[in-house]
Amino acid sequence: MLNRTIQPPVNPIEHIDIVQAEKRLLSNGIPVHFVNAGTQDVVKIDFIFEAGTWFQPINLVASLCNSMLEEGSEKYTAAEIGEKFDFYGAYIQLIADQNQGFVNVISLGKYLPAILEVTENLLKHSVFPDHELEVLIAKNKQKFLLENEKVRTLCQKKFTQVMFGDAHPYAINNKLEDFDKVSREELIRFYKSFYHSGNCHIIVAGMVDESVLNLLDKHFGGNDWQQSPIKVPEYAICSDPEKRHWVEKANGVQSAVRVGKFWVPKTHPDYHALSVLVTILGGYFGSRLMANIREEKGYTYGIGSFILTLKQASYLVISTELGNKNVEPALTEVAFEMRRLQTEPVSENELETVKSYLLGEFLRDFDGPFALAGSFKAINDFGLDYSFYDNYLHVLRTITSEELMKLAQQFLNPEDCYTVVAGSKLV
Amino acid sequence: MIHFERTKLANGLTVIVHQDKTTPMVAMDVCYNVGSRDEHPDRTGFAHLFEHLMFGGSKHIPSYDEPLQKAGGDNNAFTSNDLTNYYLTLPKNNIETGFWLESDRMLELAFSKTSLDVQRNVVIEEFKQRYLNQPYGDVWPLLRQLAFKVHPYQWPTIGREISHIENATMQQVKDFFFAHYAPDNAVLVVSGNVDFDEVLTLADRWFGPIPNRNVKPRNIPQEPVQTEIREQTVIRDVPNDTIYFAWHMVDRLDPLYFATDLISDVLSNGNSSRMYVNLVQKEKLFSELDAYLSGDYEPGLFVVSGKPSNGVSLETARKAIERELDRMKQDLVPEYELEKVKNKLEASIVYGEMNYLTKAMNLATNEILKDAELINSQVDSYRSVTTKLIQEVSRQLFRPENCSVLNYIAKK
């Protein structure tokens, strides 16, 4: 007779197969890390430049410069570049974050020769045409105005500003008038200084064979796009002494909330154990914050806690959106849940649950070529190697409730946290 | 090409298995043939509210999430106008936990009052977060209401109004469950590192005993043919004016569906698409311009939306869009251009086949539509579309009397 009240036996995850990235150098010294995996004839190539907002002389330069790369090169107009990618069903994705500028290309392997030919031209010989720049700026202005209507945007901006100080590159402080201050010359200067072979590394994932590596060397291995090495500027963090902040957004029915504090870097000995702690707090569906604030009280559609690790700083942030009248009760519960982790050991049952969940997540993080490449990047950016993941697995299998409680006492004090609310004040 | 095996249990549950030994994981997808189109006009948002309740405990299992997490699993769900889809992934050696959990909630929910009370609030917050507190958040509800006067596609899955969710009772929840949640109204897909026989044994063990519930075929009032252009203007606190056009289109199983989809790609998919090149880049009339399908199974909507650039009037914007649509009707699309959008579609299908979970979801939703095999014939269906057919479908589609226009004006 089938007994539906008992869970079928759960088997521990013992064997985890990690395909590690291999390394090659192009003839000019550009490091190429590649993950050969997958069954589909698809290749994803990420060209990564140290060209994020950290390096920009004024606001918007890093992202506009990056976006302009597909807007015209010596050989191809913007329309022709679009035409090539579309015709071969390939994608180019341009992103600039705080530290890096990315040119990511996804293509069927069979069309890679054609796609890399265009990519080479736009990377090495971008021309920044006036007309396209004007269109891009107008578009981004409208997007900016739209984003500024969202409480979550207003809240995140303010949160990074109070954490880092307005002048720090990790603070998001773009203003509408910044769009009028950016010149074409400024973008070209940034492009020349930061998008070159000496400031580039490449990560490739998918069906990567010798022919793919040879193609990369053919198009990007030459000495024709070298510039002098860049100097990394330094910025000091200048946090606001005030812990509680408010951004007014009239006539909203919901407010956005961020609660957070600075965190340890990936190289810290407690980093992994703290990741487990933050998962218990708000890192999965069964977390304390979700169980209490969504599943028990129904205050919000979702609440979570995350660790953001950037090259020069890390922080913990708890984020949610919820009805204006739920803000204060929810904040009380957030503090309550942090305190509870400091004063009550996590039960064996809960700890087992979170460990198993994280092991499952770990399997997912190494499943398939793109996930494998992502997991490699997550260590490579910080100068770490795969032993980082071995250590993580070790911590995951051995961590105890007592250790977690000690860490909570050290790292999860509610009074250390910045709190930012964006929304309409209750009347 | 995705290989799969399919069988039907005695109680009517369709079981589909797709093997992909490259992953250490297994995905399980349970798709129910019920969506917001099956709701009563005075009790909208019910299918979606119900999706939330499916996580509030079942007959023999008080918590859905915790045992799943214990087995290293992860899960989620979504509701559309047409269906409700639940999916999870697990390490392959813990697959039976998925069968245990999904079969128990197909058998019967716990119908807990607390869960209903809490999830009503959660859904109301979701309603606010997605629709009320977002700029342009009410566009879809407005467009659907304008285009559909009879068919239940007129309301969004979240519901027509918050009060419908507030007023949901336990009796209604129970009735809804037994009317729609049944083996004979669902598809189970398992993909990833599994064998067909193993899945079949587990499906028999866990899903086999669930009774067939003789789910009645749906009887949805069909939308009468629209005979004149409809237009609505609203003023909202947003940064920019936007214009939306919605035309009635064919259903998903109509042979003309593929041409319709390609028309939207010719118009706006990618930086080399017509409307983008002509109206965004060259003439600088728009900052954003899109053409897309609503994605409904029954006859849905073909939508064009455009945000005019600063200083461009809605009137000018409208004329520019109409000019591009007229070209689709008057001239044949060049062979090269059609070839391009077909290539792009084919590549995107290959990209989608890289992931075992995506494959499970595509198999399940196509089986609910009609037949999982459709995912393997779609490339040929797209490839066979001719430039002549593109023109014919454009003429059929872009008629003023088939169109609803929404002028979304920014409050000054």
Which domains, and CATH codes, for chain A?
22-220 (3.30.830.10), 244-423 (3.30.830.10)
Both tokens of A153, joined, read 């945007």
Q: Is residue B167's pLDDT more than 70?
A: yes
Q: What is the pLDDT of residue A65?
A: 98
**How near does any CA of chain A get to the CA of B7, in Å?**
22
Is the distance from CB of A237 to CB of A255 less than 8 angstroms? no
Is A106's CB within 8 Å of B351's CB? yes
State the DSSP code for A231: P
Mutation for testing the B interface, residue in A80, A301, A326, A358 having most B CBs under 10 Å: A301
Angle at B216 between CA B214 and CA B220, to 5 degrees: 165
Is B238's CB within 8 Å of A146's CB? yes
Is A145's CB within 8 Å of B240's CB? yes
- What's the Rg (C-alpha) of chain A? 24
Q: Give me the mean pLDDT over the B395-410 stretch.
A: 97
- Chain A partners of B97 at a C-beta cutoff of 8 Å? 7-8, 10
**How near does any CA of chain A get to the CA of B109, in Å?**
13
Is the distance from CB of A240 to CB of B120 less than 8 angstroms? no
Cα(B379)–Cα(B367) distance, integer angstroms: 17
Angle at B379 between CA B373 and CA B380, to 5 degrees: 90
Instruction: For residue B21, give the chain A residue with the closest CA.
Output: A39
Angle at A368 between CA A362 and CA A371, to 5 degrees: 55
- What's the Rg (C-alpha) of chain B? 23
Give me the residues of chain A with pLDDT under 50, please: none
Using CB atoms, pick whichever of A39, A88, A353 lies closest to residue B343: A88
How many A-B residue pairs are in contact by the CB < 8 A criterion? 216
Both tokens of A180, joined, read 């009028």
**How near does any CA of chain B get to the CA of A167, in Å?**
27
Is B272's CB within 8 Å of A363's CB? no
At the topology level, CATH places domain B230-410 in Cytochrome Bc1 Complex; Chain A, domain 1 (3.30.830)
Cα(B20)–Cα(B360) distance, integer angstroms: 11
Both tokens of B162, joined, read 């918050």
pTM given for the model: 0.94
Position B180, amino acid: H
Cα(A73)–Cα(A50) distance, integer angstroms: 21
Q: What is the pLDDT of residue A38?
A: 87
Q: Give me the mean pLDDT over the B129-137 stretch.
A: 89
In terms of DSSP bridges, do strands B242-248 and A42-49 run parallel, antiparallel, or are they unpaired? unpaired
Position A381, amino acid: D
Non-local CB neighbours of B228 within 8 Å, separated by 6+ positions: B400, B401
Is A298's CB within 8 Å of B121's CB? yes
Instruction: For residue B347, give the chain A residue with the closest CA.
Output: A89
Which residue shows structure tokens 């579609």?
B345
Does an H or E element contain A281, and which? helix A271-282
**How near does any CA of chain A get to the CA of B226, in Å?**
34
Both tokens of B127, joined, read 């309603």
Q: What is the pLDDT of residue A427?
A: 66
Is B344's CB within 8 Å of A89's CB? yes
Mutation for testing the A interface, residue in B268, B272, B290, B358 having most A CBs under 10 Å: B272
Label residues B58-96 b or e (16+ Cβ within 10 Å = b). bebbebbbbbbbbbbbbbebebbbbbbbbbbbbbbbbbb
Q: B95-107 and B196-206 are packed helices; what angle lies between their axes, rounded to 10 degrees? A: 40
Is A360's CB within 8 Å of B346's CB? no
Which residue shows structure tokens 């807990």?
B112
Using CB atoms, pick whichever of B22, B96, B343 lies closest to residue A89: B343
Q: How many CA atoms lie within 13 A of A203 on its CB side?
A: 21
Name the residue among B237, B247, B350 with its Cα closest to residue B304. B247
Q: How many CB atoms sit inside 10 A of residue A223's CB?
A: 10
Is the distance from CB of B94 to CB of A10 less than 8 angstroms? yes
Instruction: For residue A37, give the chain B residue with the closest CA.
Output: B22
Is A138's CB within 8 Å of B309's CB? yes
Both tokens of A207, joined, read 């069906």
Is B69's CB within 8 Å of A251's CB? no
Q: What is the pLDDT of residue A15?
A: 78
Is A254's CB within 8 Å of B132's CB? yes
Cα(A9)–Cα(B397) distance, integer angstroms: 56
φ, ψ at A61 (rounded to 5°) = -65, -45
Which residue shows structure tokens 């180019």?
A92
Using CB atoms, pick whichever of B70, B129, B347 lies closest to residue A301: B129
Non-local CB neighbours of A218 within 8 Å, separated by 6+ positions: none
- Chain B partners of A2 at a C-beta cutoff of 8 Å? 205-206, 209
Is A285's CB within 8 Å of B284's CB? no
Q: Burial level of A157, CB count in 10 A (0-12/13-18/19+)?
A: buried
- Chain A partners of B94 at a C-beta cutoff of 8 Å? 10-11
Proportion of chain B above pLDDT 70, given as a percent: 100
Non-local CB neighbours of B36 within 8 Å, separated by 6+ positions: B44, B45, B46, B47, B48, B79, B80, B81, B152, B155, B156, B157, B159
- Chain B partners of A356 at a C-beta cutoff of 8 Å? 69-72
Q: Is residue B339's pLDDT more than 90?
A: yes
Q: What is the pLDDT of residue A39?
A: 84
What residues does CATH 3.30.830.10 cover in chain B?
5-206, 230-410
What are residue B246's DSSP bridge partners?
A: B303, B404
Give the torsion sign (CA, B313, B314, B315, B318): positive
Instruction: For residue A89, give the chain B residue with the closest CA.
Output: B344
Instruction: For residue B289, give the chain A residue with the closest CA.
Output: A139
Q: Is residue B28's pLDDT more than 90?
A: yes
**How near does any CA of chain A get to the CA of B35, in Å?**
21
- Superfamily per CATH, domain B5-206: Metalloenzyme, LuxS/M16 peptidase-like (3.30.830.10)
Instruction: For residue B123, give the chain A residue with the closest CA.
Output: A301
Taking CA atoms, A190 is separated from A71, A138, A186, A291, B307, in Å, by 16, 21, 6, 48, 31
- Chain A partners of B118 at a C-beta cutoff of 8 Å? 294-298
Cα(B277)–Cα(B220) distance, integer angstroms: 41
Using CB atoms, pick whichever of B239, B309, B350 lies closest to residue A40: B350
Instruction: For residue B351, give the chain A residue with the closest CA.
Output: A42
Instruction: For residue B20, give the chain A residue with the closest CA.
Output: A39
Which residue shows structure tokens 């084919």?
B346
Is A10's CB within 8 Å of B69's CB? no
**How near does any CA of chain B get to the CA of A186, in Å?**
22
Does an H or E element contain A285, and which? none
- Chain B partners of A68 at a C-beta cutoff of 8 Å? none
Average pLDDT, chain B: 96
The three-state (H, E, C) secondary structure of chain B, written as one string: CCCCEEEECCCCCEEEEEECCCCCEEEEEEEECCCHHHCCCCCCCHHHHHHHHCCCCECCCCCCHHHHHHCCCEEEEEECCCCEEEEEEEEHHHHHHHHHHHHHHHHCECCCHHHHHHHHHHHHHHHHHHHHCCCCCCHHHHHHHHHCCCCHHHCCCCCCCHHHHHCCCHHHHHHHHHHHCCHHHEEEEEEECCCHHHHHHHHHHHCCCCCCCCCCCCCCCCCCCCCCCEEEEEEECCCCCEEEEEEECCCCCCCCHHHHHHHHHHHHCCCCCHHHHHHHHHCCCEEEEEEEECCCCCCCEEEEEEEECCCCCHHHHHHHHHHHHHHHHHCCCCHHHHHHHHHHHHHHHHHHCCCHHHHHHHHHHHHHHCCCCHHHHHHHHHHCCCHHHHHHHHHHHCCHHHEEEEEEEECC
Using CB atoms, pick whichever of B100, B135, B277 lies closest to residue A79: B277
Cα(A348)–Cα(A407) distance, integer angstroms: 17
